[in-house]
Amino acid sequence: MNGSDERTALAAFFAMSVLAGGNAVAIRYSNRELDPLWGACLRFALAATFLAAIMALLRVSVPRGRALTGAMLYGAFGIGGAFALAYYGLVEVHAGLGQTVLALVPLATLFLVVLQGQERIRLSAVIGGLLSLAGIAVISNATLRDDVSALSLLALVGSALCFAEAAVLVRRFPPVHPVAMNAVGMGTGAVLLLAGSMLARETFELPRQAETWLALAYLVPVGSVIVFVLYLVVLRYWEASRAAYQFVLIPVVTVALSTWLDDEPLGLGLLIGGPLVLIGVYVGALRRATAP
């Protein structure tokens, strides 16, 4: 790869990480007016419509057969399950703390592929897992003292597991054009989120506050479309393991934005537990194995 390609990849990587860092903050603003599952449904229904229009412009066909099944499962776990739990957790948990917990995704993916027989366990994964668990324990202890329910924190851990399982499941099915994959996945997720919202007897209403509309204006075209396009640019030049460093960088951006825009307190739980989680993810899932 020449210098120009590397600069393009780096620019896309940092732009993607900064823009994705605003997602959790925008969700917090959306949750203040809209019920969480309904807010998530509205976001992904609009994003799916946006991506369907892009499919039409690019003349991308809708997947069929097993490929369609894979895209729908990706949507069920990676959109429906993951964001139902993330939106619920972010009702109480501040964005910076929430995004730090979601940084467990690469490590969770590694353990899930081992449990499902796709890879073997590595010592570095065990060490990374223990470090991350220690970080979560520190965060949990601090948040419980701050009157944040353990259920909200567990919902975010569950969200990370859903993201990870979606990535594992996709490998078992034929490849799908990324725009089509996300259009079908977000459409499937929106339907499941709507069903969950109905079961929870949430209120279906359009936003009335300007802040909520601004949050959706960010989450749909930027957080759900542009970030994805930038990720594709990164993957064009970098391998997936290198691109996964976004999971360590995004929480740093989110903490800064949440402290500025949402008055998130930088307590000892986040200052001590957060770095432990990120170091554990780096050691267990992102650090390249060295040759013996």
Q: What is the pLDDT of residue 213?
A: 95
Q: What is the pLDDT of residue 75?
A: 93
Average pLDDT across each block of 10 residues of the chain; the chain has 292 residues. List them in order. Answer: 76 86 92 95 95 92 92 93 94 83 79 75 74 73 64 90 85 84 93 96 93 94 86 71 70 82 74 80 61 40
CA distance 214 to 205: 16
292: in domain: no
For 152, the domain range is 3-286
Question: Does any domain span residue 291?
Answer: no
Does any domain span residue 179? yes
Q: Is 118 exposed, middle or buried (0-12, 13-18, 19+ CB in 10 A)?
A: exposed
Residue 140: the pLDDT is 61
The residue assigned the tokens 């990535």 is: 167
Quote the number of domains for the chain. 1
State the pLDDT at residue 288: 54
Q: What is the pLDDT of residue 280?
A: 79
What pLDDT shows up at residue 127?
80
| pLDDT number for residue 291 | 40
**pLDDT value for 141:** 65
The three-class DSSP label of residue 202 is coil
DSSP state of 146: T
Residue closest to 39 by CA, chosen among 48, 49, 21, 26? 26
pLDDT of residue 290: 42
Whether residue 65 is contained in a domain is answered as yes
Q: What's the pLDDT at 92?
A: 87
Residue 164 resides in a domain: yes
Q: Could you tell me if 25 and 254 are in contact, meaning their C-beta atoms sit under 8 angstroms apart?
A: yes
- Coil, helix or strand for 94? coil
